[in-house]
Amino acid sequence: MNLKEEMLQLGRQARAASRALGALTTQQKNDCLRAMADGLLHQADPIKAANAADLEAGRAAGLSAALLDRLALTDKRIADMAKGLREVAALPDPVGRVLDERVRPNGLRLRKVSVPIGVIVIIYESRPNVTADASGLCLKAGNAVILRGGKEAIHSNRAIAQVMLEAGARAGLPANAVQVVQTTDREAVRELVQMVGLVDLVIPRGGEALIRAVAENARVPVCKHYKGVCHVYVDREADLDMAERIVVNAKCQRPATCNAMETLLVDAAVAEQFLPRIARTLSAMKVELRGDEKTRQLVPTAKPATERDWFNEYLDLIMNVRVVPGVEAAIEHINTYGSNHSDAIVTANQETADKFLRDVDAAAVYHNASTRFTDGGEFGMGAEIGISTDKVGARGPMGLEELTTYKWIGHGSGQLRE
Amino acid sequence: MNLKEEMLQLGRQARAASRALGALTTQQKNDCLRAMADGLLHQADPIKAANAADLEAGRAAGLSAALLDRLALTDKRIADMAKGLREVAALPDPVGRVLDERVRPNGLRLRKVSVPIGVIVIIYESRPNVTADASGLCLKAGNAVILRGGKEAIHSNRAIAQVMLEAGARAGLPANAVQVVQTTDREAVRELVQMVGLVDLVIPRGGEALIRAVAENARVPVCKHYKGVCHVYVDREADLDMAERIVVNAKCQRPATCNAMETLLVDAAVAEQFLPRIARTLSAMKVELRGDEKTRQLVPTAKPATERDWFNEYLDLIMNVRVVPGVEAAIEHINTYGSNHSDAIVTANQETADKFLRDVDAAAVYHNASTRFTDGGEFGMGAEIGISTDKVGARGPMGLEELTTYKWIGHGSGQLRE
């Protein structure tokens, strides 16, 4: 069987599984999830053995210590995967929600009801826990999933999936509800993302290069965010103590995340007051500053920011700083250099805030809060499969509801169109 | 300026216009729509003159009478365009709806609010009224629109857009809110649908070939339906009088529409009773029947249906007929050969109906009603820009709400992530 045929077969199997999944009750889905969690706990040994093979191959291939750490599965990490599946089981079923209901003058009752998307492909990198986390979320939303993890984790991913499938099957999980792409050939991704009619949605999780490669080849919808170039704008009417706390939190609390801020915009009216103090605080926290000319006049230790820097997602303790004439220039900067992810304004002026919240084109915008809140858990979604900066389909944090679509159901008594 | 640069400029202008549109109030948008309607009525003469040029070129090029009729603009048709714009002005603003609201334990208030999508490209065929209809809907939803109509209507489309823009501008319509692609070069479409970052959504309106060509080249989201292969399944527990009325309505009321039925599925348990009578009725209405073997035993006048016929959207007085062993086989047939558009079951058994409504994978499913209801007007949306069979983004009839996306707005008082 060649690669194309192999992927088509995965797709056809997933389509059949998605129909079987759609017929499960909430209780049946939750039973499967809990059985899968139990399976992971009871079968930790074969999973760890498979993981040891990946780690050995990784060390032989010279993977960095950071990458090896991400790849490694401990009892604690396996228990966390099981816990994640149980938490998803405890969440409300996202399928069957009535999103709209109307009775037409002819008596036809129309209901807009959430339904599973169908077949979802997840493309990810080295963390094997994604195999369990993504499976759990897709299953609860009634979707069949095809998983394509990094080649360095292939043995771990296969073992996790096998354990989940065997345990799930005993609780009624349909065959092929979760499938791991067995080949590590890169061409497999290209085939998968072109399978119109068999694959309904692709969610790539990883760095910008991975996501661009997926999106450029895709013929099916891709839900994604390329990067998180997030901004905090400190307005002339900001409470500067609050502004300082928000900037420090947004930049430093976990700088390697997509919702960490990369660029600080400061209203010229408060630049003289605010910039030296925030620079001192950030410098104590080892943040490297890159500023425009006005910033560098007030903060001589800042390096000059290049045009390219404004577009940059550092994911590190580096931050751009720019002095702007006011809120309109801040909005203009964000809409030009930003990534439509998460941006915040600090101001006591409601009108200024409203303008910013309306005109900044991003999945999440904040008034007097840190950009770090863009997260399924923080939004109360219970679990997260990713964050989207798309404008069609889900936008912002994606939890269970965002893994569903809808259908219109018409309940009639013989209505005809006149 | 080469073609690519020309399209990029349209995109940049549209992006700037979309920001200006986002800042208009509902009243301002409605004023623009009414001014555009007035403009069409007052400037009917130059529009008709431009249309005459298209008609003359069309006749010279040997266009069919049907095509020339679709192309022709009369005072009545111009008045209808104006009326359409006024109706859109009278509809509720789809922007600013609060779709979800939650206050987190830390006091952060999150609101999920509908916002314009941004820049929309509409690709359509010969009807010049789409130029006004699509512009009105996009404008009301706060989106800038780039219009690419058929080359046979280019003079008409330019004239309509110019009139609307001039009249709109006097009422405060931002420059470039509506732009008509000036070139008729086919490559223009390819460029437009690849303009990631400048174009947020493409809506192709036309036949399957047009839509496939757009979707295959697109790098930006495309909202579409390829075709409408709609089914009616007559169950063993159907009221056969009702079933006959629904089949006749779904097939014959307007056979050239996408929500007209193409295939009748009949439960074997009632085939002997139902098929001869429906065949007589349809034959009197000049419907050609193509049946499977069992159908042809009961209806000897039916031609044999080929495997390809089951996939076919006839848009004509031709109908496939198949006898199936029951609801499960009907669902299987629909999910295999259908186009995920609109499918109906006729039955008095609620359990059978529920199974069909759940398991048929379509944008709209009906119990005891005609498939012909899948339409923005019939759904009470007030106006329609098209119908989608996609699973990501809008599904089913698309009105104003379906021309919006959403953003999450966080209202804080200094909240930090812990």
Pseudo-torsion of CA B174, B176, B178, B181, nearest 10°? 180
Closest in B22, B221, B417 to A392, CB measured: B221
| A19/B359 Cβ within 8 A | yes
**Minimal Cα–Cα distance from B243 to chain A, Å?**
8
Give the confidence band of B383 by pLDDT, cuts at 50, 70, 90. confident
State the best of A114, A392, A406, A418 to mutate against chain B, taking most chain B CBs within 10 Å: A392
Pick from B37, B29, B26, B91: nearest CA to B380: B91
Length of chain A measured in residues: 418
Q: Which residue of B has its CA nearest to A336?
A: B197
pLDDT (0 to 100) of residue B273: 98
Outline where DSSP puts E strands in A149-213: 178-180, 201-204
Amino acid letter for position A300:
P
Chain A residues with CB-CB distance to B395 below 8 A = 405-408
Chain A interface, best mutation among B253, B373, B390, by max A CB count within 10 A: B373
| CB atoms A223 and B392 under 8 Å | yes
Among candidate residues B286, B275, B371, B368, the one with its CA nearest the CA of residue B321:
B275
Which residue of B117, B118, B365 is in closest CB contact with A409? B365
Of B215, B364, B392, the CB nearest to A392: B392
Task: Work out the pLDDT band at B126, boundaries 50, 70, 90.
Answer: confident
Residues of A in contact with B397 (CB under 8 A): 408
Q: What is the pLDDT of residue A273?
A: 98
Residue percentage of chain B with pLDDT more than 70: 100
What does each of the 418 residues of chain A score in pLDDT, given as a tens digit? 799 999 999 999 999 999 999 999 999 999 999 999 999 999 999 999 999 999 999 999 999 998 999 999 999 999 999 999 999 999 999 999 999 999 999 999 999 999 999 999 999 988 999 999 999 999 999 999 999 999 999 999 999 999 999 999 999 999 999 999 999 999 999 999 999 999 999 999 988 999 999 998 999 999 999 999 999 999 999 999 999 999 999 999 999 999 999 999 999 999 999 999 999 999 999 999 999 999 999 999 999 999 999 999 999 999 999 999 999 999 999 999 999 999 999 999 999 999 999 999 999 999 999 999 999 999 999 888 999 999 999 999 999 999 999 999 999 999 999 9
Closest listed residue to residue B24, CA positions, set B87, B119, B95, B113: B95
Distance from CA of A145 to the nearest CA of B (A): 15
8 A C-beta contact, residue B286 and residue B252 = no
Contact A22, A200 (CB under 8 A): no
How confident is the model over B5-28, as a mean pLDDT?
97
Q: Do A412 and B201 touch (CB under 8 A)?
A: no
End-to-end CA distance of chain A: 53
| Nearest-angstrom CA–CA distance, A138 and A125 | 18
| Arithmetic mean of pLDDT over chain B | 96
Domains of chain B in start order, with CATH, are 3-224+396-411 (3.40.605.10), 230-373 (3.40.309.10)
Cα dist from A175 to A28, A29, A30, A144, A267, whole Å: 14, 13, 16, 10, 58
pLDDT of residue A367: 98
Give the pLDDT confidence of B340-359 residue by residue, as tens digits.
999 999 999 999 999 999 99
Q: With an 8 Å Cβ cutoff, is A116 touching chain B?
A: no
B201, B414, B417: residue with CB nearest A378:
B417
What is the C-alpha separation between A136 and A91, in angstroms, rounded? 11
13-42 of A, contacting B, C-beta below 8 A: 19, 22-23
Phi-psi region of B240 (alpha: psi -120 to 50; beta: other; left: phi over 0): alpha
pLDDT of the residue at A41: 97
CB B189 within 8 A of CB B214: yes
Judged by average pLDDT, the poorest of A372-386, B110-124, B296-310 is: A372-386
Q: Model confidence over A5-43: pLDDT tens digits? A: 999 999 999 999 999 999 999 999 999 999 999 999 999
Q: DSSP E strands: which ranges in B139-200?
A: 144-148, 178-180
The residues, any chain, with a CB within 8 Å of residue A198's CB and separated by 6 or more, are: A8, A11, A12, A14, A15, A119
Is B108:B412 a contact under the CB 8 Å cutoff?
Answer: yes
| Per-residue confidence band for B144, with pLDDT thresholds at 50, 70 and 90 | very high
Q: Do A368 and B412 touch (CB under 8 A)?
A: yes
Does B1 have pLDDT greater than 90? Answer: no
Q: What is the pLDDT of residue A171?
A: 97
Q: What is the pLDDT of residue A58?
A: 96
Chain centroid, CA B249 distance in Å:
20
Would you call A329 an interface residue with chain B, using a CB distance cutoff of 8 Å? no
| Order of all β-strands in the sheet with B318-324 | A98-103, A109-116, A404-415, B364-369, B342-346, B230-234, B261-267, B318-324, B288-291, B303-304
Contact A370 B417 (CB under 8 A): yes
What is the per-residue pLDDT for A126?
81
The residues that bridge with A321 in the sheet, in sequence order, are A264, A291
A221 contact residues in B (CB cutoff 8 A):
221, 390-393
**pLDDT of B55 strictly over 90:** yes
Distance CA B51, CA A105 (A): 38
Instruction: Select from A200, A359, A363 the Cβ nearest to the Cβ of B408.
Output: A363
How many residues appear in chain B? 418
Q: Is B216 on the interface with A (CB under 8 A)?
A: yes
pLDDT at A264: 98
Pairing of strands A109-116, A404-415: antiparallel
Cβ neighbours of B396 in A, within 8 Å = 407-408
pLDDT of the residue at B382: 83
Among candidate residues B137, B104, B97, the one with its CA nearest the CA of residue B406: B97
Would you call A417 and B372 a contact, using CB atoms and an 8 Å cutoff? Answer: yes
pLDDT category at B182 given cuts 50, 70, 90 is very high
B364–A contact, CB cutoff 8 A: yes
A-chain residues within 8 Å CB-CB of B253?
416-417
Give the confidence band of B4 by pLDDT, cuts at 50, 70, 90: very high
Instruction: Spell out the residues 6+ positions from residue A264 whose beta carbon is closer than 8 angstroms to its own.
Output: A231, A232, A234, A247, A251, A278, A319, A320, A321, A322
Q: Could you tell me what percent of chain B has a pLDDT over 90?
A: 96
Structural contact between residues B31 and B174, judged by C-beta atoms closer than 8 angstroms: no
**CA atoms within a 13 Å half-sphere pointing along the CA-CB vector of A174:** 22
Q: Report the gap between the CA of B284 and the closest CA in chain A (Å).
A: 19
HSE, CB side, 13 Å, CA atoms: give it for residue B34.
10
Q: How far is B327 from chain A (nearest CA, A)?
A: 14
- Supply the pLDDT for residue B236: 98
Q: How far is CA A113 from CA A139, A316, A409, B339, B346, in A?
A: 18, 43, 7, 19, 20
**Spacing of C-alpha A380 from chain mean position:** 15
Q: Could you give phi then psi for residue A358, rounded to 5 degrees?
A: -80, -45
Comparing C-alpha atoms, which of A12, A8, A37 is closest to residue A139? A37
Distances from the Cα of B263 to the Cαs of A81, A166, B126, in angstroms?
A: 47, 41, 29
Distance CA B340, CA B258 (A): 11
Q: Which of residues 228-257 of B touch A (CB under 8 A)?
A: 239, 242, 245-246, 249, 253-254
A208 touches chain B (CB under 8 A): no
- The shortest C-alpha distance from B292 to chain A (Å) reads 25
A147 vs A122: CA distance, rounded Å: 5
Whether chain A has a CB inside 8 Å of the CB on B336: the answer is no
- CB-CB under 8 Å, B417 with A253: yes
Q: Residue B370 burial (CB < 10 Å; 0-12/13-18/19+)?
A: buried
Asked if A414 lies within 8 A of B364 by C-beta distance, the reply is no
**Which structure tokens are listed for B253?**
């009321």
CA distance A379 to chain B (A): 7
pLDDT at A281: 98
Q: Distance from CA of residue A135 to its chain's centroid?
A: 14
Helix or strand holding residue A60 (H, E)? helix A44-60
Question: Distance from A326 to chain B by nearest Cα, in Å?
Answer: 17
Is pLDDT above 80 for B302? yes
Q: Estimate the crossing angle of helix A129-140 against helix A154-170, to 10 degrees.
A: 40
Does the CB of A364 have a partner CB in chain B at under 8 Å? yes
Closest CA to B163 of B141, B131, B139: B131
- Give first-to-last CA distance, chain B, whole Å: 53
Q: Find, among A269, A228, A260, the residue nearest to A352 by Cα.
A: A269
CB contacts < 8 A (A, B)? 195
